[in-house]
Amino acid sequence: MTGQTPASMRHTPVLLSRTLDLLAPALAHAGAVALDATLGMGGHSEAMLSRFPHLHLVGVDRDPQALGLAGERLARFGGRVTLIKAVYDEVPAVLARAGVDHLDGVLYDLGVSSLQLDETERGFAYAHDAPLDMRMDTTSGITARELVNTADEADLVRIIRRWGEEKFAGRIARAIVAARTVGELATTGQLVEVIRSAVPAAAARTGGHPAKRTFQALRIAVNDELDVLERAIPAALGALDLHGRIVVLSYHSLEDGIAKRELAAASRSSAPRGFPVELPEHQPHFRLLTKGTETPSEQEVAANPRAASARLRAAERIAERPAARHADRHTGRHTDRHTDRRTDRSGA
């Protein structure tokens, strides 16, 4: 059974060296705290803990199986690791449960994980016949089977077109509705055959697997991924301390579009256009660390084909959090902490 294979042998972290280098200025000092908000099988977390010996890492995943495998992989780091079952937009609640009040680094490695793709019974992969599930958290929520067999045609068109960017969404939705009048669609194989029947043969020959975009759309809908992401990035930005850094790895244009928008908004002045003087409250809170997106090298893609679609964006907080400024006025605690950190970094 694949679940018996150690996570370190099943998962190759994407853009690992670049991710660590971008996070390094924020994580190399004593007392640093990082959030791996999409823990998966723990590859990025293991590398962070190994490179930064003073780091405490909070790892989050909604998938109980992933948490179990990552826990085994990270066990050697003992009390430096806190693992929490949660969705990745629940940043304030996660930090409260972990007993920390700030972050120095955040990583979002989005999309479906290697674990979920490899466990064929989870129903994420169109290449294997399996029950139509697609839930990242198998203990709650609707399954892809329920969605496919109960959503009306208009909703299916909207989901497949919007989240799969599928130009044949109307044809596929009609085919699904027609097929389920004969019998419930219960497996990935059944759904793939329905999709094949709806997509023109010429398009199927030149556009990759005909089910790819529909499966992406259903997975996003089942797990509410993009709505979660739109909440997650602002929540993480709000928790980052001065000089804290965030890295976002995305795997399709919809994810990358949200990351681009949120990081750019945090890195722009809010002063009205034509305003003669930029007041402190209008100055950007972050600066972008990447020009557009960064992508894996040809060598990395050759070694790890799942890295092919990866896109990386990163940013650094350059103005204190409102909570930190508030604490400065009342206790001085945050000021002392930031001063200590700057000393740590300059002496490294």
Q: Render each residue's pLDDT in the chain as its tens digit; 348 residues.
A: 344 555 555 568 999 999 999 999 999 999 999 999 999 999 999 999 999 999 999 999 999 999 999 999 999 999 999 999 999 999 999 999 999 988 999 999 998 776 677 677 788 888 889 999 999 998 889 999 999 999 999 999 999 999 999 999 999 999 999 999 999 999 999 999 999 999 998 776 776 889 999 999 999 999 999 999 999 999 999 999 999 999 999 999 999 999 999 999 999 876 666 666 666 666 889 999 999 999 999 999 999 988 999 999 999 999 988 765 444 333 333 333 433 443 333 333
Count Cβ atoms below 10 Å from residue 25 Cβ, excluding itself.
17
What is residue 348's predicted lDDT score, i.e. its pLDDT?
33
Q: Measured between alpha carbons, how far is 263 from 246 in angstroms, rounded to an integer?
A: 9
Domains of the chain: 2-114+225-346 (3.40.50.150), 122-223 (1.10.150.170)
109 annotated as belonging to a binding site for a ligand: yes
Residues 6+ away with beta carbon under 8 Å from 4: none
- Where in the chain does DSSP place strands (E)? 33-36, 56-61, 81-85, 103-109, 240-250, 286-288, 311-317
116 annotated as belonging to a binding site for a ligand: yes
DSSP structural state of residue 121: G
89 annotated as belonging to a binding site for a ligand: no
88 annotated as belonging to a binding site for a ligand: yes
Residues 6+ away with beta carbon under 8 Å from 326: none
CB 319 within 8 A of CB 348: no
- Where in 94-239 does DSSP place strands (E)? 103-109
CB 101 within 8 A of CB 35: no
61 annotated as belonging to a binding site for a ligand: yes
What is residue 1's predicted lDDT score, i.e. its pLDDT?
39
Q: Which of 195, 183, 250 is nearest to 38 (CA)?
A: 250
